[in-house]
Structure 1
């Protein structure tokens, strides 16, 4: 039996610039950039060998099929195809938080976690960067999902990361770990609050609009890329309050990328939080629902809880230094 653990993520700044249609465009000489972090909320994938050759799947539904092609869960189906696992397995996925429409990169975390566990089942290992590239191949190239590529890298790599995409090459991705002192990491994390908006959304609808708008929003995307670079610089310098203010500027720009990223309810919640002392924030992921991330100095957090917490559930979290990993591996020796 194999168990993989893969972290979810928070994208601070630069979301939208990780779409290949933007960063790999021939007219974009600078590419895209994202600054984000993995958090201690996880997707777990369990792969267990079975005596028979059927395929058993357990997620929000249950499937029992004879062939990979019959699998309805598209991520499991394509991960099995890529890794060459044809049958004789039971696969279970578990999530710490709602995995649909949370804005925490859950679909890519599931894909990365599946690949990590299935390759371990096959006795193979790949680097974090290779797993992320494979996950993006499944979601973007095979399933044609409208999405960026950052989620798979943050899930696979872990830590606080500055990631650069392109330019002019959809497969060119470089990353840097922002290795802050432990006390600085603790201070930064302590100033971040995460609230569940009590609603999920179909991110593909919003992301499809973003993709369609890329050519008309190039100036906004350029500014978001520059803000991601600026965010990395502020974090390195431990200028955390300035980073919080940059989150606000980034959110104001992000809402211009497509309809549906925000609405009057989200705007009201965010305005109340800002009025109570939050320096900045954003809806995690594509927008429209899921989790609201806020940067709030410690002295203002109780006030923010009073104005927001009555409507929303707070999710305490910490940063996760590690990316996807195998936390349990007991395989039958095929040669014994």
Structure 2
């Protein structure tokens, strides 16, 4: 039997960073994000050869291990091993024999939630394979615990829930790791106008979000008022953007994106750099209204808001730089898995 799964990557539209502890535990966090038609993929092929074979093309890891109930976390394919170890432990299962293959439509460190989305994708494949009773909330929570607690990787909570639920979501992050996902019922013309008014540009530089997130956490814990007040405004931007999107107010959408970027830069050092600033200078000169980096910052993708009739000018100007423009559309539906039963050859 073969099991496959896919999970969508996301754009963080507003409130990014307010889902990170300790801020979310002290003040509560609000996030507005939307999934796009870029995905993480996973395939599990059941075998009986007493081996666990890993082909993680997203992390350039190709390894083989004897079947065991616990795989050592040693820096190789940590996401796959983390999911496997947790599933075997939580459900008291015997060691499994299988080949697992993973890959991603976007590079790691792109700011689209690639790592967390991959955890959800891998988890969804195991859920499908082993018929585990986990809904979207349970899948998101377990993926968060595997990545943040079991593996000790820094980050927030929004990516796991975005990948599991899909679509446009307004998320509330409360103390004690309580999360409420509120799907937004977007009119089709508003989604079309958003797609016509946005340019997604990859700077050509991936980055590790850990250092930026760790500094953000330190600023909150130490009571850095400049950083905390900036995060308060970023959180409020999620409220304001929800109203703007539901009304289809693109001028307000652009204003919120622009202000959120100015506030985001106050959260930690390294959020912007000369490569990012150059892209902003070029895009704004070509007619972009506003922009902000998706994810923690420091590299990855930048979202620009443009007048649709000037979109080609902005794209052509950005394409002269070292990065590339990524066409995209917003997607509905979250992570899902399916089984393939090989048939006899005729």
Shorter-chain TM-score: which interval? over 0.9
- Structure 2 gap ranges (5+): none
Please give the per-residue CA displacement for 1:11-59, whole angstroms capped at 9, x wherever unaligned: 011111001200112xx3xx11011100000000101101222100001
- TM superposition outliers: structure 1 runs of 4+ over 3 Å: none
Among 151, 157, 161, the alignment partner of 2:159 is 151
Distance in 2 (alpha carbons) for counterparts of 1:138 and 1:302: 42
Secondary structure, in 3 states, of the residue corresponding to 1:34?
strand
Is the counterpart of residue 97 in structure 1 residue 88 in structure 2? no
The answer to whether the 8 A contact 2:190-2:245 is kept is no
Identify the residue that residue 318 of structure 1 maps to in structure 2.
Answer: 329
Q: How does 1:214-253 map to 2 (within 5 A)?
A: 214=220, 215-216=223-224, 217-253=227-263
**What residue is the counterpart of 1:69 in the other structure?**
71
1:140 and 1:299, CA in 2 relative to 1: closer, same or farther beyond 3 A?
Answer: same
**1:205 & 1:331 partners in 2: Cα distance?**
44
Which residue in the other structure is 1:121 paired with?
129
Q: CA RMSD in A?
A: 1.5
Question: Cα offset for 1:331?
Answer: 6.0
CA distance in 1, matches of 2:324, 2:282: 15
Q: Once the 2 structures are TM-superposed, how far is the Cα of residue 307 of structure 1 from its aligned partner? A: 2.4
1:81 aligned to which of 79, 85, 94:
85
State the 1:192 CA deviation: 1.0
Equivalence for 1:261:
271
- Distance, in Å, in 1 between the alignment partners of 2:134 and 2:340 is 18
Tell whether 2:190 aligns with 1:184. yes
CA distance in 2 between counterparts of 1:330 and 1:109 reads 22
| Structure-1 separation of matches of 2:177 and 2:217 | 18
Structure-2 separation of matches of 1:212 and 1:163: 24
| 1:217-242 deviation per Cα after TM superposition (whole angstroms, max 9, x unaligned) | 21111111001111111001110221
Deviation at 1:206, TM superposition (A): 1.6
Query: Using the alignment, how far apart are the partners of 1:308 and 1:186 within structure 2?
Result: 22
Preserved CA contact (<8 Å) 1:58 1:91: yes
Any stretches of 5+ residues in structure 1 without a counterpart? none
- Picking from 140, 145, 151, the partner of 1:137 is 145
- How far apart, in 1, do the equivalents of 2:181 and 2:61 lie? 36
Structure 1 CA distance for aligned equivalents of residues 333 and 235 of structure 2: 25
